[in-house]
Amino acid sequence: MSERAAPFYCPYCGDEDLRPSEEGHGAWECAACNRAFRLKFLGLLSRGLRQDDRGGTEI
């Protein structure tokens, strides 16, 4: 990956005023609620998404 993915919204308050944190890769700060959080990509699911009999998606 050449660029890091940026979150669009704070997971706590939903505000868009986010800045990268000095705490390291994947760390972000929300100016609206004054919280810091870290995002981490865990990997791809081996089985993926599939339709069930009721029409919804199942992981």
pTM to 2 decimal places = 0.65
pLDDT number for residue 11 = 95
pLDDT number for residue 6 = 85
pLDDT number for residue 46 = 84
CB 4 within 8 A of CB 25: yes
**Could you tell me whether strands 27-30 and 18-20 are parallel, antiparallel, or unpaired per DSSP bridges?**
antiparallel
Q: For residue range 1-59, list pLDDT tens digits in order.
A: 445 678 999 999 999 999 999 998 899 999 999 999 999 888 888 876 676 666 666 65
What is the spatial distance between Cα 35 and Cα 9, in angstroms, rounded to a whole number? 12
Which residues fall within 8 angstroms of residue 56, CB to CB, at 6 or more apart?
none
